[in-house]
Amino acid sequence: MTTHFGENREVEQNPTEWWQAVKKIAQTWWNDLSIDPKQVSMISFSGQMEDVIPVSKNNQKHRAILYSDTRAKGEAVFLHEKFPELTKKTGNSIKPSSPIAKLLWLEKYKKNLYEDTLCFLFNAKDFIIYQLTNKFVTDPIAGATTGMMNLLERQWVWDLLEKIGIDLDKLPNLCQPEEIVGYVSAHASAETGFSESTPVLCGSGDAGASTIGAGAVKEGDSYFYIGTTGWVAVVKEQEDLESSMNGVFHLAHLPQKSTITIAPLLNVGNVHHWAVETFIGSAESDASFVAYEELINDASPGSNGVLFLPYLNGERNPISDSEARGAFWGIGPNTKKSDFTRAVIEGICFSLKQLIELLDIDESKSITLIGGGAKSASWCQILADCIGVPVRVPAESEFMPAIGAASSGFIRLGWVKDYQEFSDRFITTNDAKVYRPDDENYNLYQIMYQQYVKLYPSLTEIYR
């Protein structure tokens, strides 16, 4: 997948490459795994949120503006100042990454593209649904990230959007994740091999699927997600929208009348990947990650006094600063290569610890960890030692979001009655490894954490 980066924090991808990837995966099912398309009862999805994906009236191939694109800084400031009621309705602060800010930017600076757009979609899976069914839809989980949806009512804030000047005809329909939104068209069937008229569900944004995949369904359930980026999340049944914190998302959850409070991080697995590439020389093979793991284990807890601030890509939480940068501190004559490698992981874990405090998560019980980062045993143990709480890692943790994405299909097909039953039967019963904190390491990390939290405020004087 090719990602295009611009000089003004533009981050874009061509959504037709997503469609090509889906077709390639489907052909693998039919040809390599000998799956009969008639065995597919229903198609459900998950995908990345906060995108702005223009679907052209005239078959133009416009790029999608991704969630990490922050070009719309001025538009975010305008909306924050002129329409403060947006935050009260949506439960989320308007940021440069918010789709509503990106829409205003497009209308101002890319007028022809804006006018040519038949509908704007906000989730990668919404584009695939459109390719399969010719329907324009999105789900409330993704809708909650747009800055345009009333979180409690799960509807677009039509009156405010009209005042702001958003073209209401260019918005997709909001549908529940378990709702059938269309059927595989004859054209899509010919391209993908899926049987014509196979039902297609709306599905959910990645945070919703990941939350179900982590078994977080009821009030107080929490988890970590460690992927390229990551987050800490807790489920709430009642959300006080007046107390919306900057940089923290309040999202609709798949079970209606419940919400997910999420504190996202920009610097997680991508920083791990950078470190493997930097200190090993390549991050293109499993062997490189194994070699990095060995270096981590060669260093003592605390990395010989070296601290690492992981803000390689700016950051969203617990500080919101697109100009922030990473740093090593505490380097001395006895610092070794392995100290740097371990300090990177400790720095990411300290960042996650800050989010636990930010969300006031109950630390009296274990916290589930899902995502690709959970494959690193040393990372899981360091995290447990940093936060002083057992970390539960389900078997095949990196696939749990995909299992969560399937939950809507199980409900629609009547295989389970609700998301709690799905979790009880298919998530919490799975084998899991529990990493328990070492008291001595926890005490050391508590001291280092107090130093860590001083790094960013001290370094801001350098680049401001």
Model pLDDT for residues 105-143, shown as the tens digit of each residue = 999 999 999 999 999 999 999 999 999 999 999 999 999
| Residue 246: per-residue pLDDT | 61
Q: Return mean pLDDT, the chain.
A: 93
Per-residue model confidence as pLDDT tens digits over 319-348: 888 889 999 999 999 999 999 999 999 999
pLDDT at residue 227 in the model: 87
To the nearest whole percent, how much of the chain has pLDDT over 90? 78
Task: For Cα atoms 314, 441, 370, give the angle at the middle one, nearest 5 degrees.
Answer: 50
pLDDT at 245: 58
Contact 303, 346 (CB under 8 A): yes
Supply the pLDDT for residue 242: 53
Fill in the DSSP letter of residue 29: I
Residue tagged 């391209």 (tokens): 191
- Cα torsion 185, 186, 189, 195 to 10°: value is 80
Per-residue pLDDT tens digits for 203-260: 999 999 999 999 999 888 899 999 888 889 999 886 665 555 567 889 999 998 899 9
Report the pLDDT value the prediction gives residue 29, as an integer from 0 to 100.
97
Enter the pTM of the model. Answer: 0.83
Beta-carbon contacts of residue 309 (< 8 Å; ≥ 6 apart) = 326, 327, 328, 329, 347, 452, 455, 456, 459
Which segments of 164-240 are extended strands (E)?
Answer: 173-174, 180-183, 199-201, 204-205, 222-226, 230-236
- Average pLDDT score over residue span 453-464: 88
pLDDT band of 316, cuts 50, 70, 90:
confident
Report the 10 Å Cβ neighbour count for 245. Answer: 15
What pLDDT does residue 78 have? Answer: 97
Q: How confident is the model at residue 434 (pLDDT cuts 50, 70, 90)?
A: very high
Q: Is 137 exposed, middle or buried (0-12, 13-18, 19+ CB in 10 A)?
A: buried
Q: What is the pLDDT of residue 241?
A: 58
The pLDDT tens digits of the residues spanning 141-166 come to: 999 999 999 999 999 999 999 999 99
What 3-state DSSP class applies to 312? strand
CB 321 within 8 A of CB 310: no
pLDDT at 238: 66
The one-letter code for the residue type at 336 is: K
DSSP 190: H
